[in-house]
Amino acid sequence: MQEMTMTDTSNPSQQNPQRRRSASALRSLIVSWSAVVLAGAITALPASLATAQPQAQQPPQAQAIVPRAPDIAATAYILLDAKTGKVIVEHNADQQLPPASLTKIMTAYIAEVEIDNGNMSLDDEVHISEKAWRTQGSKMFVDLNSKVRVEDILRGIIIQSGNDASVAMAEHLAGSEDAFADMMNQHAQLLGMTNSFFMNSSGLDTEDNYNIMSARDLAILARATILEHPAHYGLYAEREFTYNGISQPNRNTLLFQDRNIDGMKTGWTTAAGYCLVASGERDGMRLISVVLGTASEEARAAESQKLMSYGFRYFETHQLYRGDEVLTSAKVWSGKENSVDLGVSEEVIITIPRGRAGDLQASLNIEETITAEVAQGQVLGTVDITLGDESLYHGNVVAMQAVERGGFLKRLIDFLTLFFTNLFS
């Protein structure tokens, strides 16, 4: 058996001086690299995510209470935040029902699309055919074979709910009402209105000629009208329109009862009952309500008012991120810069119970190792926003600026640092 000789490392005189210098250099190098790793790993958290410092004890604040939604006497209804699309209250929202003159929101929407796309102007003249002139029900009272400006026809559709105006617009845009109904169905498909089908432009119901829509689809259409074509939305707030010497008030009585309401449209047939799509804005929050199948003119206004009051009182539209907002920064390896700002590139708005903004929780999930080069806008993680057990937002976290690759020495140092970091982790 070979005898093993152990060196007494407690006696410096017995150690090899060259080995002592090599070991010391290696230890120094590891310490230096460790310091680099530690410095690079520390990132700045935004104030909203930072750990709170100990403060003087404050009295507990009462948590905001949201009662259950009011009872609504309607066959179907929905209430949503127009800016976020968040549904606050709904009942039978996907049930297919006759929409009556709420159909005209789609007729007006298509006209607004054509105007904003440059295919028609407000000063264009619309020919009034015999079919349009003879159309029964509510009327604008246009004259046979007359020429009427597009802007006046739009007012006749929106304010006076004129069936004659609706048919005239359909024929002007598509040549016939049947062809226009096909346009209506195509637009509905593009908007994601999966429970709607159109056969005419006015909403009149016959056994062989009728339309169907759901409360949700009407809310989708109303939201598109407001957000996509804001220049025309003001027509829905006008309380009266006079044409051919005949003045008619807007049938949306909420315009006269609630200063926050600025649109949209009423409807009634025997099959549909009394219907109303309403929209209003208060304290930066815009709501859209739809009620279908109520019992009277008074009921459709009263039930819509219940929904609006509930939404405005107990909910708010909250700006979560402004857009191009930095949330944190992260270490970048092998780059000219040692870190990159991370954030959300677009404005993020959510709907929350009023007074609960302070209870929102943000969770950032960032890639463990980010290596240059990094492109501006490159997705490097995600952010999740929750309120209690409810997930309110999930989105990408992106690089707010580009980071180019560093020089050879920088890349070599970072490579070795990463190697030793992984080795000792």
Domain ranges of the chain: 76-315, 322-425
What is the Cα 392 distance to its own chain's centre? 12
Q: What is the mean pLDDT of residues 106-134?
A: 98
Give the Cα separation of 265 and 145 in Å (integer).
Answer: 28
| pLDDT tens for each residue of 23-67 | 444 344 444 444 443 344 333 334 443 333 444 555 555 567 899
Instruction: Name the average pLDDT for the chain.
Output: 87
pLDDT at 343 over 90: yes
The domain made up of 76-315 has a fold known as: Beta-lactamase (3.40.710)
User: Both tokens of residue 174?
Assistant: 């598509």
* pLDDT for residue 284 is more than 90: yes
410 catalytic residue (yes or no): no
| Residue 43 exposed, middle or buried by CB count within 10 Å (0-12, 13-18, 19+) | middle
Which is higher by pLDDT, 342 or 24?
A: 342
Residues 6+ apart with CB under 8 A from 294: 73, 74, 75, 273, 274, 275, 276, 300, 303
Beta strands in 238-370 (DSSP E): 240-243, 246-249, 261-269, 273-282, 285-294, 315-321, 325-331, 339-344, 348-353, 361-366
Digit-coded pLDDT (tens) for 182-233: 999 999 999 999 999 999 999 998 888 999 999 999 999 999 999 999 999 9
Cα separations (Å) of 22 from 17, 35, 109, 335? Answer: 9, 20, 80, 30
Name the strand (E) or helix (H) holding 200: none
101 is catalytic: yes
Ranges of H-type helices in 11-88: 17-41
Residue of 298, 296, 300 whose CA lies nearest to 278: 300
What would the mean pLDDT of 287-306 be, rounded to a whole number?
98
Report, at the CATH architecture level, how domain 322-425 is classified: Sandwich (2.60)
| pLDDT score, position 11 | 39
Dihedral of alpha carbons 342, 346, 352, 358, sign: positive
* 358 DSSP 8-state letter: G
Check residue 208 and give its pLDDT: 86
> What's the pTM value of the predicted model, to 2 decimals?
0.81
* pLDDT (0 to 100) of residue 184: 98
Four-CA torsion 148, 149, 152, 156, nearest 10 degrees = 50
Work out the pLDDT band at 136, boundaries 50, 70, 90: very high
The Cα 180–Cα 171 span in angstroms is 7
Query: What confidence tier does 410 reach under pLDDT thresholds 50, 70, 90?
Result: confident
CB of 224 closer than 8 Å to CB of 191: yes
Mean pLDDT calculated for residue range 258-270: 97
* CA dist., res. 39 & res. 36, Å (int): 5
pLDDT tops 90 at residue 416? no
The answer to whether 71 touches 89, Cβ cutoff 8 Å, is no
**Catalytic position from the list 161, 196, 202, 304:** 161
Task: Report yes or no: 61 and 76 within 8 Å, Cβ to Cβ.
Answer: no
Which residues, listed in sequence order, are joined to residue 65 by a DSSP beta bridge?
Answer: none
